[in-house]
Amino acid sequence: MKIAVTPFNVNSIIKLSENGADIFIIGNDKYANRLVKSYSEAEICEASEIIKSLKKDVYIQMNLIVHNKNIPEFDLFLDFIKTLDVTGIIFGDFAVYNLASKKGMEHLLIYNPETLNTNYYDPVFWNKKGIKGLTISKEITLKDIQIISKDSKIDISLTGHGHLNMFHSRRPLIENFFKFKKEEYNSYIENKNLRLVEEIRNESYPVFQDDHGTHIFRDKAMESYQEITILSESLDVFIIDGIFKNSDYLVETLKNYKSLILSKDIIKAKKISEHYQKDHDSGFLYKKTVYNKY
């Protein structure tokens, strides 16, 4: 199993590689949602060269919903990616699949529609389409993950650590809220230090608005320290998403997982998990997603 990370800048790549990162997920926010950093084309070229020199893999994030007006620029961006000789392209919209197929790039594609890959026929279907892999829905249990990944002929990945997105609207909800209150809102746009608090819950949810709309995340970041040994036997790629964190956090997290994968130390895994329990949990690994009626 390889470990993928989302680097915050080009300068952090070497240190992340030294501490166990195998795959680096980067992108530009004209073509991707919820990046830790939007890399310019020049930065993508620079990062790609460094990563390849380290003999590690480069994944380009292209998970934006594609509208008709976006198709020409997505097409050109795929041409640009083709010149870089990257290892994977993460997508969620079938338009990207169609555009990439016309360029003979479907073998690089990794399908991640966020919530839709939830059964063992998904890998069977996409294997017939000739893509590289898919990312399992982050809202399913550990048991289901094991079933889906078993005997898959394409790469199976999972976002197993980090804040999980649970809501995305194309509407500028933060902007609209302050307009309704007749207050200035510019300082709140692209601000990733905001929290949304509901009256009926104790949690507070990370929220931000950007050019693609409004994004709301689960209150606690997910961690899989006690499950990493099982996951390492089922997955091809384990993703650590650093959104709302920083490079030091990514390095520390990498060290923890690499240590546990090598040692398979159950007691150590439990201690690390307990250390993070204040603001991390196990996501949906042990609970089915259900609607609670209040």
Residue 290 lies in a domain: no
Dihedrals phi, psi of 266, to nearest 5 degrees: -65, -40
Residues 91 and 175 in one domain: no
* 81 within 8 A of 52, measured Cβ to Cβ: no
Per DSSP, helices labelled H in the chain are 13-18, 41-53, 71-82, 94-102, 121-128, 142-149, 173-180, 228-234, 247-263, 266-275
Same domain as 76, residue 193: no
In a domain, 188, yes or no: yes
Letter string b/e over residues 251-273, b meaning 16 or more CB atoms within 10 A of that residue's CB: bebbebbebbbeeeeeeebeebb
Tell me, yes or no, whether 293 lies in a domain. Answer: no
Token representation of residue 16: 């992340």
Pair 178, 263 in one domain: no
At 290, the pLDDT band (50, 70, 90 cuts) reads low
Confidence label for 293 from pLDDT (cuts 50, 70 and 90) = very low
CA distance 194 to 204: 9
Helix (H) or strand (E) holding 171: none
Residue 35's CATH number: 3.20.20.60
Host domain of residue 178:
168-214
A 10 A CB-CB count for 70 gives 16
- Which tokens go with 165? 């997105």
**Considering its fold, how many domains does the chain have in total?**
2
176 and 32, same domain (yes or no): no
Whether 115 contacts 137, CB under 8 Å:
yes
| 148-203 residue pLDDT tens | 999 999 999 999 999 999 999 999 999 999 999 899 999 999 999 999 998 888 88
Q: By the 8 A CB rule, do 148 and 136 touch?
A: yes
Q: Is residue 26 part of a domain?
A: yes
pLDDT for 90: 98
Kindly state whether residue 294 falls inside one of the protein's structural domains. Answer: no
The pTM for the full model equals: 0.94
Residue 195 and residue 93 share a domain: no
